[in-house]
Chains A and B, each alone.
Chain A
Amino acid sequence: MTSDRTPRILGAILVVLLAAGPFVPQWAIFLITIALAKGLVVLGLLILLRCGLVSFGQALYYCIGAYTAGMLGRLFEVDGVLTLMLAGMVVAAVTAYVLGFLLARYRGIFFGLLSLAVSMILYGLLVKSETLGSSDGFNVLPSTLFGIRPADEWVRYAVLVVASVVAFVAALLVHRYLKTPLGSLAPAIKDNEIRVEYMGASARYAIHVNYVIAAALAGLGGGLAATTVGHIDPEMAYWTTSGEFIFITILAGTGSVIAPFLGALIFGIIQTVAFDISPNTWQMVLGGALLAVIVFLPTGLWSLFRRRRAT
């Protein structure tokens, strides 16, 4: 295994992002920040996918993270960006811990549809709640970093710094986790769950833990997205949002913890280029890209790097 290089590659990407940030145009900084937020959610999906589980409802935790950040600002005027993101993460993780008792019993399509159902319940509740702006949502307070709000032209860069550092730490921790005994159980569960149980490990416990970690990452991503975009609405919990995360997961592949962020960035670039060159048929460009990846790179974009390394 050559993946021990991962921490160094992650560190190098972080340094490049932080150093290049001031020279990157503002719109591109925004694109990268959103890619990091979505990458965090996809990182969680990667953990689940390694267990052979596809969650069609990860938007639930993304939305919980975003609404936690939004509500803290709205009700208690909390505006520290790190506090908001961590709060989003904790609320998402606690919710996942409770729901995990139910969901960790299911596999395959049952797990997928049950997770979808739960996220649609949240969507339904939010759309019915007129005090939260119903389907229109509401604006999130402009956030601060350690009580300071940077000057206008540096706000985007500051958000990028926070997002990059958070994503770096998250990716590094997940990378470490996947090497622990519990983390490395995932592919075994995917291959043969009965054998895992015979070895004396609890598949349900491992899945429960992975589910909570995935939710925490999605909540973190949601909190980051809310403070970056500045507006939240129930569509964040809608099934199309979950679909987008799955799309990115397939696009990226599950080969490395770097893949989700790369996938999210490439997804963002394809989408924005498609919007630009064919405003009337951008979905077709996006769909074509996914088809091309599935046909030519069945294990995702990450396999490009794998192959090169092998030769």
Chain B
Amino acid sequence: MQGIRKLIASAAALLCVPALAIAQDAPIKIGVVSFLSGPAAGPFGVPARNAAEIMFEMINAGKVPAPYATKGLGGAKMQMSLVDESGGTTTQVTEFRNLVQRDNVDLVIGYISSGSCLGIAPVAEELKKLTVFFDCGTPRIFEERDYKYVFRTASTATMDSVGAALYVKDLKPNAKMIAGVNQNYAWGQDSWGDFELAMQQIIPGIKVATSQMPKLFAGQYNAEISTLLSSKADVIHSSFWDGDLEAFILQAGPRGLFKRSTVILTTGETAMYKLAAKIPDGVVIGARGPYGPYAPDNELNKWFSATFEDRYGVPPNYAAYQMAQAILGTKAAWEKAQAANGGKRPSQDQVIAAFENLTFVSPAGEVKMTNGKGHQAITGTAYGVTKKVGGKMTIDKIKRYPAEKVNPPDGVKAADWIKSGFKK
């Protein structure tokens, strides 16, 4: 019923929208897309949605600390249209078009899966709609094409692998052999590929003992763990997440894998509190950037983590931080554009111009939109090892790496940059 009514309403709206002048304080409709069902919902999608809900509510109420204390986006209230990211690329492209052409949103913030981002980016360009990716990792988006309407406020997955490799050198400078266990799909293949390349540059002559590639959501890793145990690698790299990560930790712990080798879990932060009792000390934990335990000790972060934990009972994980970062980046760009427009509501083109090459602060510190011709963010990253203090999970031996050290310069493909020995 509602669908038909909507159909008629949108058909009518389509005819009259251009005639209507947009009021200064009309609400700004924002499509928010995140996994609300399926395996990626638990570790990433739902925390990200929770962060979006908090940020929308607090920004509209003007309760966010400086420099984001103004209400809404330049005074106009933000209104959320929430969409589930599951259902495949065809469904996602359909729903993106619905958001833009039926619901007439002003912009879209979202997408966790790299497949979604690759599918959505050309459509955003076709529909000429400002779209901000907050989490997806593949560097291919801005390597394959230039975009005008697409932005990404988080670093690419290249940073995670390069950061991990640098941390190996700092933690175990005499490492001779590495091994990997990654899921056999794009994320796992790319994560391991970049890590392997980066290790060869950082510690020349390092050997790869084995690269295990079980299929996604396999759940049983006893064969892989046996191979890793007998490989005697100094360092084991894994980009496992959620259920696979938990299964791996639970199966590898009792067999002493964590004692024999230093294990790097590049997305380990999403599981570190839940599995605090099962993760031994000395495991390297990544958070895909300076998020969660690696976030800086500033006002904005104190406010964000306290507000989030207060409402949801758990600390925000990196997906939540990335969502907050995307929303604050949009707010910064919008208000910069509004200021340049003499305090009047900016047009989309003005917001885009302000967003390009923008530097803004988020709970994770400084974010610089320097890559992808000003559309791709770079941030610093950090790694550390687990250490239980009085039964509570904490992170020790934190090393921070500045943005320029772990991200390629603008216009250079990630793989070429690593192969060139990280040339500036």
Contacts and interface: CB of A to CB of B under 8 A. Distances in A.
B11 A139 contact: no
A25 to B, nearest CB: 5
Given A25-B11, A139-B118, A273 B88 contact: no
Contacts of B185: 127, 134-135
B124 to A, nearest CB: 11
Contact of B83 (A225, A232, A275): A275
A63 B316 CA distance: 39
Contacts of A268: 94
A283 B37 contact: yes
Decide if the interface of chain B is mainly helix, strand, loop or mixed: helix
Interface in A8-57: 23-28, 30-31, 34
Given A229-B90, A275-B83, A127 B184 contact: yes
Decide if the interface of chain A is mainly helix, strand, loop or mixed: helix
A273 B10 CA distance: 14
Contacts of A236: 88
B97 to A, nearest CB: 5
B122 to A, nearest CB: 5
Given A134-B189, A229-B119, A276 B98 contact: yes
A278 B346 CA distance: 32
Given A27-B97, A135-B186, A272-B94, A233 B3 contact: no
A24 B122 contact: no
Contacts of B82: 279-280
B365 interface: no
A275 B84 contact: yes
User: What is the interface residue range for chain B against chain A?
Assistant: 35 or more
A27 B98 contact: yes
Contacts of A276: 2-3, 6, 98
B348 to A, nearest CB: 16
A138 B95 CA distance: 19
B159 to A, nearest CB: 18
Contacts of B187: 135
Interface in A127-176: 127-128, 130, 133-139, 152, 155
A280 B84 contact: yes
Nearest to A230: B122
A231 B89 contact: yes
Nearest to B117: A136
Contacts of B87: 271, 275
A222 to B, nearest CB: 11
Given A25-B101, A272-B94, A139 B144 contact: yes
A283 B37 CA distance: 9
A106 interface: no
Nearest to B138: A136
Q: Which of B2, B82, B98 has the most CB of A within 10 A?
A: B98
A283 B36 CA distance: 11
A229 B97 contact: no
Interface of B: 2-3, 6-7, 10-11, 14, 36-37, 82-84, 87-91, 93-95, 97-98, 100-102, 114-115, 118-119, 122-123, 126, 138, 140, 144, 184-187, 189, 193, 215-216
Given A225-B90, A231-B93, 11 more contacts: A25-B11, A27-B97, A27-B100, A127-B215, A130-B193, A229-B119, A231-B119, A232-B89, A235-B115, A269-B3, A273-B2
